[in-house]
Amino acid sequence: MHSLSDSRHGGRRALTLVCLAAIIEGFDLQSAGVAIPKIVPEFGLSGPQIGLFFSAATFGLIFGSFLGGRSSDAWGRRNALALSLVTFGIFSIATAMTSSFEQLLVMRFLTGVGLGGAFPILVTIAAETSTPDFRGRAVSIMYAGVPLGGATASLVAMQGWHGGGWREIFLIGGILPIVITPLILALLPPLKVEKAKSEKIWEAIGDILAPSSLARTVLLWLSFFLGLIVVYALLNWMPQLLVSRGLSKPDASLVQVLFNIGGILGSLIGGKVLDRDNPLATVALCFAAAGLALLMLAMLPASLGWMLLGGFIVGAGILCIQAILYGIAPRCYPFQIRGTGVGVAVGVGRLGSIAGPLLAGAVVASGAGPEGVMYTLFPITLLAGAAAVILLRRRDAMPTAQD
C-alpha cells in the first residue's frame, strides 16, 4: 500500500509539473501573435515578411517535434524535457534582443525547435506517470495548460500589460521555462529507457513503420494532420470572421479569450471520454459536435453575446478532439519507442498547421469569405474523427497494464 501511495503521489507531482510546463508553452506559442502588432511598425515588415515571421517558428516546431521525441527515448524524458525548456527559454529571450528582421527569423526558428521538442515529451510523461485507467485524463489535463497559457497571453495583449513595446513578452516567455527547469530536474522521475531496450533512431523509425504497426501509424498521422489543419485555419481566420461580422478588434480578442477558456473545458472532457471502457461512440460524437460547432459559428447572429458563446463552444469542441488525439498517441507504441512515435506523429501533424492557413487563404480568395472557411473545415473535422475511431477500434492501439 505504501508503494502504491508513493506511486500515486509521484504521478500527481509529475502531472503538476508537466501542466505548469504546458501553461508556459501555451504562453510562448501565443506570444508571437500578441507581439506582432508592435513588431510590424518597428521593423517595417511587409505582408510576406509577417508570413515568414510566423512560418519560421512553425518550421522550428516541426523539426523540434522529431528531435524532442527521439531525445526523450535516448536520454530519458526528464533530461530531454529540461533541454527543450532551456532551449526555447534562451531563444525567446534572444528574440527580445534582436535588432534586425533576419535575427528575428533565426531566433523564432530556434525558439520553435525548443517549443516543438517539449510538447511530445509532455504528452509522453503525462501518459506514462498515470495509471492505465487515468491516462486519457492525465494527457488532457496537461493539454488544458496550453489554452490556459494562450488565454493568459491574450489577456496580456488586451490589457496592454507589456507597456508600449513587444520585447517584454518574449523576455517573460523566456524566463519562465528557465525558472521551471530546476524543478523538473529535481522533482520529476527520469523515466529513462534501459540501454538494453533503447534503439537507434533508424531502428525506432523502422519499428514505427513496420507492417505490424504501419496501419495505426498512418491513421495516427492522418488524424493529427487533419486535426491541426482545422485548429490552425481556425486560429488564423476566426478573428477575420469576427471583424467581418462587425465586431471591433478588442471584442474579437475577447472572443479569442473565450475560445481558449472553452478549450480548457473541452480538453478535460476529451480526456474523460477517452478513459471510458468503450469510448468509440462518444469519441465519434465529440468530432461530430466539433464540426457542428464550426457551422454554428458561421451562422450565428453578428452580436458580441452570440459570438462569445460561439467562440466558447468552438474552442471546447476543437480542443476536445485535439486532447483525444494526444491521448491516443502514447497508446500506439511501446515504451522504448514511444517518445519517437509521439514526436514523429506530432511533427507530421504540424504540417497541418502549415496547410490549414494556406487552405483557408485559398477559400477566402475564391470569394467564399471567412464563413466559407468554417464550411470547408466541417468535413475535414469529420474525416479526422473517422481516422481516430478506426484507430481506437484496433486492439493493438489500446493500452495494456504493462505499458
**Per-residue pLDDT, 155:** 75
C-alpha cell at 238: 476566426
Superfamily grouping for domain 1-185: MFS general substrate transporter like domains (1.20.1250.20)
Give the pLDDT of the chain (403 residues) as one tens digit per residue. 344 344 455 678 899 999 999 999 989 888 887 787 788 888 888 877 887 888 888 899 999 998 998 888 888 899 999 999 999 999 999 999 999 999 999 999 999 999 999 999 999 999 888 888 888 899 999 999 988 888 887 777 666 544 556 888 899 889 999 999 999 999 887 766 554 454 566 677 777 888 888 888 999 999 999 999 998 888 777 776 777 777 877 787 788 888 888 999 999 999 899 888 788 899 999 999 999 999 998 888 878 888 899 889 999 999 999 999 999 988 888 878 888 889 999 999 989 988 888 888 788 778 877 788 889 999 999 999 999 999 988 754 444 434 5
Question: Quick one: pLDDT at residue 182?
Answer: 95
Nearest to 176 by CA among 203, 198, 156: 156
Quick one: pLDDT at residue 186? 92
In the prediction, which pLDDT does 359 show?
87
- Residue 240, helix vs strand vs coil: helix
Q: What is the pLDDT of residue 401?
A: 38
Encoded amino acid at 143, one letter: Y
| Closest listed residue to residue 204, CA positions, set 371, 317, 299, 336 | 336
- The answer to whether 144 and 270 have CB atoms below 8 angstroms apart is no
Are the C-beta atoms of 337 and 204 separated by less than 8 Å?
A: yes
Per-domain residue ranges for the chain?
1-185, 200-403
Q: What's the predicted TM-score (pTM) here? A: 0.83
How far is residue 181's CA from residue 172's CA, in Å, rounded to a whole number?
15
The CATH number corresponding to 200-403 among 3.40.50.1820, 1.20.1250.20, 3.40.50.720, 3.40.800.20 equals: 1.20.1250.20
Contact 58, 354 (CB under 8 A): yes
Main-chain phi, psi angles of 188, to 5 degrees: -90, 135
Cell (9 digits) for 291:
464540426
Amino acid 395: pLDDT? 52
The predicted pLDDT at position 193 comes to 57
Q: Which three cell numbers stand for residue 20?
A: 505548469
Which residues, 6 or more positions from 215, have their beta carbon under 8 angstroms from its beta carbon?
394
With residue 280 as reference, give the H or E element that holds it. helix 280-299
Same topology between domain 1-185 and domain 200-403: yes
